Structure 1
Amino acid sequence: MTEHASTTVRERNSDTAASLSLDRQVFGENPLEVRESGHYAQEYVGGLVDKWDELIDWDRRADGEGRFFVDQLKARGVRSVLDAATGTGFHSVRLLSEGFDTVSADGSPQMLAKAFRNGMRHGGHVLRVVNADWRRLGHDVPGRYDAVVCLGNSFTHLFSEHDRRKALAEFYAMLNPDGVLIIDQRNYDAVLDGEAGANRTYYYCGDQVSAEPDHVDEGLARYKYTFPDSSEYYLNMYPLRKDYLRGLLRDVGFQRIDTYGDFERTTAETTPDYFIHIAEKRYRDEEELARLDADAR
């Protein structure tokens, strides 16, 4: 190992140790100015990570999403999956239970530690966890996969377009030639345009926890999470608009992108809470793409 490489490893190990020791969120004097991609590690601290499953409610979330992701992957013949935003492990455990060869990556060491414990608790699964930065995913995570999933509104932690494009390019490169990326986001179009509903059926299912916007502008969606013990935590996220993210996916090279709203096909009359984009890497010529788009309509 070169001196530079060993220094980089020491720095990352030091950052990981520092992240694991955090138990209080740090936003500085002006939380509304915290708009940096790397800040999430100071947001997913011990106290919030410990309570995260109260917000998710694994059983109710499983009922809400049903077999949507499993069926989408199986319909495409997927066997190997990189869960790029593992969080506390909900989707990694579901994928392992369905027989997918799954690797679990996350940028938060505290989330990965909780995910590993959850894997053992829910079915005795030993998660293969990797602390990874999406912007250098190919360096942090070995191998290629039939699918990459980035779920739980996680992609909105990237605040610069440069970072978003780099992360999507890394996802694309991690996929086998016929691979698929599944990436979701909150319906920030509705949030920004004042049309957001109160449907919390599918994602944040804990009925004793509130998740409400504390501040919203075109460059920041700051959410407050209040738990039954009156503790409060915040997350700062970038409010991605649906068509903007679809455009980025096309720019990176994904050939076909299908977008669902709360696990259903979107229509002009519906205002879903979440969008789910299913982006296929497999090359198709223009005639085939036009035919598929016509069939979808």
Structure 2
Amino acid sequence: MANDGSPVAGATTEQPKPSAAKESNFYQKQYVSSFVEKWDELIDWDSRSKTEGQFFIDLLKEQGKETVLDVATGTGFHTVRLVEAGFDVTSCDGNAEMLAKAFENGKARGHILKTVQADWRWLNKDIQGKYDAIICLGNSFTHLFREVDRHRALAEFYAALKHDGILIIDQRNYDQMLDDREYSSSHKFYYCGEQVSAAPDLLEDNLARFKYDFPDGSSYHLNMFPLRRQYVADLLKTHGFQTITTYSDFQETHKTEDPDFFIHVAKKEYVADD
């Protein structure tokens, strides 16, 4: 990229010092257009659809939700799936390259997506109305490095929901990575592209820098804050979400040993104590 030291494609690309990359906006410099074009190779829409099944669709329908704000649209995988399932979805992302690719993917499948580029910390400045549900998937929340940014984003999510709305937010199993100081992925959920290697090349208590190697020899990096499962659940409660249910790779909590991902379902609806 430019002379700011941010990474570009290529296995020999010199990475910036970790201290220079621990900021909430750094992902904007890492999602370059060439990386975005390859992102669907990493996801593999068909494989992910099969392994994920109807999990999010069934969950939202069981809760009686209709309007959904996808705040981490990426290249549009979940937006398109929910649109095809009959939900009224608004696609939101902080990165213009990702949002453009999502619109392109939606159009290729016969859908015109409603897209909004917005920073989560000022989300309600750019969106209209309130939603039955907000989804923040693909390990996206871990792009926020500062504590104040995480609090600000969750406050914005809470304000954008109706009184009985729900927030669905996921994260990698950083607990295992931090405790064992190693990483393994089943490639069964989320990142299903078998030809793409994704693993941290730097792991610290406050930085997980993942490297993505593609078949053509290109490499890219993403920096994330390794959030622990209980920390996220406690943070959601701090912001007024009363009922938090956590799933491990689409199963009830702890039913899957060493899952790749945790999925938190947080309900805003007020429930009075007995």
Asked whether 1:211 is paired with 2:198, we answer: yes
Partner in structure 2 of residue 24 of structure 1: 8
Relative contact order (C-alpha < 8 Å, sep 6+): which is higher? Answer: 2
Partner in structure 2 of residue 154 of structure 1: 140
Partner in structure 1 of residue 176 of structure 2: 190
Partner in structure 1 of residue 189 of structure 2: 202
Aligned partner of 2:150 among 160, 164, 179: 164
Give runs of aligned pairs for residues 67-216 of structure 1, distance below 5 A: 67-122=54-109, 124-194=110-180, 196-216=183-203
* Same amino acid, percent of matched pairs: 56
Instruction: Identify, as 1 or 2, the structure richer in helix.
Output: 1
- CA distance in 2 between partners of 1:45 and 1:157 (Å): 15
* Offset at residue 31 of structure 1 (A): 4.3
* Cα distance change of structure 1 residues 125 and 162 upon mapping to structure 2, 3 Å threshold: same
- TM superposition score normalised by structure 1: 0.86
- TM superposition score normalised by structure 2: 0.93
* Offset at residue 29 of structure 1 (A): 3.8
- CA distance in 1 between partners of 2:214 and 2:273 (Å): 50
* Offset at residue 143 of structure 1 (A): 1.2
* Offset at residue 39 of structure 1 (A): 1.1
- CA distance in 1 between partners of 2:7 and 2:230 (Å): 37
* Cα distance change of structure 1 residues 269 and 84 upon mapping to structure 2, 3 Å threshold: closer
* Offset at residue 24 of structure 1 (A): 3.5
> Aligned partner of 1:181: which letter?
L
Runs of 4+ residues deviating >6 angstroms: 25-28
Q: How many residues align?
A: 266
**Which structure 1 residue ranges, 5 or more long, are not aligned?**
1-17, 288-297
Aligned partner of 2:266 among 266, 279, 286: 279
Partner in structure 2 of residue 10 of structure 1: none
Partner in structure 2 of residue 15 of structure 1: none
* Cα distance change of structure 1 residues 250 and 263 upon mapping to structure 2, 3 Å threshold: same
Aligned partner of 2:22 among 35, 46, 53: 35
Partner in structure 1 of residue 227 of structure 2: 240
Partner in structure 2 of residue 14 of structure 1: none
- CA distance in 1 between partners of 2:178 and 2:218 (Å): 27
Contact 1:84 1:148 in 2 (8 A): yes
* Cα distance change of structure 1 residues 51 and 269 upon mapping to structure 2, 3 Å threshold: closer
> Aligned partner of 1:213: which letter?
P
